Chain A
Amino acid sequence: AQSVSQHNHHVILSEAASLELGCNYSYGGTVNLFWYVQYPGQHLQLLLKYFSGDPLVKGIKGFEAEFIKSKFSFNLRKPSVQWSDTAEYFCAVNANTGGFKTIFGAGTRLFVKA
């Protein structure tokens, strides 16, 4: 069965620390990969996406993610977090073989201390 695994459920960092959130997926076909973010009291928003091409993708607010096909991974990174990055982050996958229904990871709650 298709699944997405996020390595950390809760992460606490101080401002200016570097961030890496792990994501692995289980899917045999060609996939589209996403990171979504939900800030407190707000909608789920698309942070970045990978469809094809350069495996290092850049998103909004200084985030980037690297697709490593051999490891079935799509880790999210940011060199220096800010207090405003406090949010819940979701890794997600969809594919045409699944009718493009999106499979989400359990989410990682990030708290950045000012």
Chain B
Amino acid sequence: EAGVTQFPSHSVIEKGQTVTLRCDPISGHDNLYWYRRVMGKEIKFLLHFVKESKQDESGMPNNRFLAERTGGTYSTLKVQPAELEDSGVYFCASSQALSKNIQYFGAGTRLSVL
């Protein structure tokens, strides 16, 4: 069974540019989460999809971040325009059930904004 896959693994962009990160969850997992780890800090929740609906987006830093999950399958996280403080590792996770919620993580996308 394929795990959670994220693309790209690494992205280097200049301040002001746009970047789109993609996450493919484990097939059949309705729950999809985005997290971010800024260097030296803890992994922080960004948002949670249940199928195509945003269940909780309380962790999204500001309106430069837009997450979508059309059709309830893969998800994208777009940063537009990117700022220096957006640099970090963006993790995606998916889970099948909400109760006893075991989240399986992707390898992450390392975003460097110069």
Using a CB–CB cutoff of 8 Å, the interface residues on chain A facing chain B are 4, 32, 34, 36, 42-46, 49, 51, 90, 94, 96, 99-107
Say yes or no: is B42 at the interface (Cβ < 8 Å to chain A): yes
Query: Contacts A32-B100, A90-B43, A106-B41; is A100 near B95 (CB within 8 Å)?
Result: yes
Q: Contact size class for B?
A: 20 to 34
Closest residue of chain B to A36 (Cβ to Cβ) is: B105
Q: Once the chains bind, are B100 and A101 in contact (CB under 8 Å)?
A: no
Query: Contacts A99-B48, A106-B41; is A51 near B59 (CB within 8 Å)?
Result: no
State the 6 A-B residue pairs at the shortest beta-carbon distance, nearest first: A44-B105, A104-B43, A100-B101, A101-B45, A106-B42, A99-B56
Say yes or no: is B63 at the interface (Cβ < 8 Å to chain A): no
Q: Once the chains bind, are B59 and A43 in contact (CB under 8 Å)?
A: no
What B residues does A34 contact at CB under 8 A? Answer: 102
Say yes or no: is B31 at the interface (Cβ < 8 Å to chain A): yes
Query: Contacts A42-B107, A100-B95, A105-B42; is A49 near B102 (CB within 8 Å)?
Result: yes
Query: Contacts A44-B91, A44-B105; is A101 near B48 (CB within 8 Å)?
Result: yes
Say yes or no: is B2 at the interface (Cβ < 8 Å to chain A): no
Q: A104-B44, A106-B42 are in contact. List 10 more A-B contacts (CB 8 A).
A: A32-B101, A43-B3, A46-B102, A90-B43, A94-B101, A100-B98, A101-B48, A101-B58, A102-B33, A103-B45
